[in-house]
Amino acid sequence: MKVFLLTAGLGTRLKPIICMVVIDYLIKGHCEAIICGTLIQSYFGDRDLLNQLMNNSKFDAVIHFAASASVPDSVLHPAKYYRNNMANMQTLLDACIGHEIKYFVFSSSAAIFENPQFLSINENHPQSPINPYGTTKLIGEKLLADYEQAYGLKYCAFYYFSAAGSSKDGKFGKAHHPETHLIPVIIQAALSGNSFNVFGADYDTRGASCIHDFIHVLDLAEAHYLGLQHIIDNNCSDVFNLGSNDAFTVLEMIHALQDVTRTPVPYRITGRREGNPIIIVASNEKAQDILSWKPKYSKIENILVDAWK
């Protein structure tokens, strides 16, 4: 099987189980993270490039990770998110249809569910994004549903909750500049001694801060392979939550890191940040039942130890 893999700064080591061509502009990514397949450093919204690649090689599937993916940045710069996450995705889908690629795996986001009406969130929860990032991910899924109906493209969409951790050897993990994700930011605070901002501690939640569900990147990687195999074997489309079905406040994460590293994390309480979800926790029952997927690495202590490495 040959797969066209589009990435956006993912540093996770993925075991080479299929023949892959990887396209990454490396604006946020790193060529050192591509350890299998052929890397093409370019822009996935380039229609001519996509047509050339797909003319030269027969691809069975596309796995689409490439997106702008910061909630606060999307609030400040929504045009970038609509252009990259929506318009460029349509260019990619058009290329797939034009070259008879039948299967498509899409990295969506739990941001389409904010703010939740019940816990824990399953795949049928009402979709009500509260920031441009979540809105563009929801539009991406609507595109896929319409392209399936019109052109027969089969897809698997994954709702990521808070991706975290690294490879077990510590060589591949989060490497964004600037970093905005919670766990790398609190690790930076612990290592540098500079205070970490806790955005709001006046919520009606346990501990009065935001609550999130964290999922290890290695568990995410396995789910993508299983999801691709599922839609090929059954010639179907489907959507799945990828979360641990566990939840932690920001302050609990700070204390947990201090416990596993024996290193203090300086922090200060600041005002709420626009676009932040208050509480979001996954039900992963469907992925377990249909994909036979079960998180192996997503206990919070494992995530923190691996991220610290």
For 308, the token pair is 């610290």
Q: Which of 103, 133, 155, 225 is catalytic?
A: 133
Task: Provide the phi-psi class of 147: left if phi over 0, else alpha when psi is between -120 and 50, else beta.
Answer: alpha
For the question of residue 133 being annotated catalytic, the response is: yes
- Which amino acid, residue 33? A
| DSSP letters for the chain | -EEEEE-SS--------SEEEEE---SS--GGG--SSEEE-S-TT-HHHHHHHHHHS--SEEEE------HHHHHH-HHHHIIIIIIHHHHHHHHHHHTT--EEEEEEEGGGGPSPSSSSB-TTSPP---SHHHHHHHHHHHHHHHHHHHH--EEEEEEE-EEE-B-TTSSSB---SS--SHHHHHHHHHHH-PPEEEE-S-SSSGGGS-EE-EEEHHHHHHHHHHHHHHHHHHT--EEEEES-S--EEHHHHHHHHHHHH-----EEEEPPPTT--SEE-B--HHHHHHH----SS-SHHHHHHHHH-
Catalytic residues: 133
